[in-house]
Amino acid sequence: MGLDEAVSAPVPSPVAGIGFRRGTEAAEIVALVRRALREARADGLSALATAADRADEPALREAAAAFGLAPLPLAPEALAAADADVPTRSARVERLRGIGSLAEAAALAAAGAGARLILPRIASAGATCALAAPGPRA
């Protein structure tokens, strides 16, 4: 098989990690996720993840539904385990959750072992979003 005939393995869709303030509208979260996907040049989304205590918020459920997904809730322990790989440090989030960035930690934790950020945290007025790609499969 020549190089022009090689078939490459599909690249898995990234995971979006989301942080948001109460009162943030679903439309703002959707717009931010779409902006993140454009900036990362990603075509799809495999999950929309956030802290377990925020996953049932109506705005997040509505935003996830816009991508054909349900919110993926993450336990505080999973977020804390991903914190060592989080490059962004928000004093507010560290004070409230003990991690540097909810969006980055959620994206990395949800993408699994060996995940890497493909887009560090970006922000709108009331939300943050980061994208992570799953690590290589063994």
Q: What is the pLDDT of residues 95-136, one digit of tens each?
A: 999 999 999 999 999 999 999 999 999 999 999 999 999 987
End-to-end CA distance of the chain: 25
d(CA 54, CA 76): 11
pTM: 0.89
Q: For 54-103, how does the pLDDT look when each residue is reduced to its tens digit (9 = 90+)?
A: 999 999 999 999 999 999 999 999 999 999 999 999 999 989 999 999 99
Query: 3-class SS at 48?
Result: strand
Cα separations in angstroms, 61 against 89, 109, 122: 26, 19, 20
Sign of CA dihedral 20, 24, 25, 28: negative
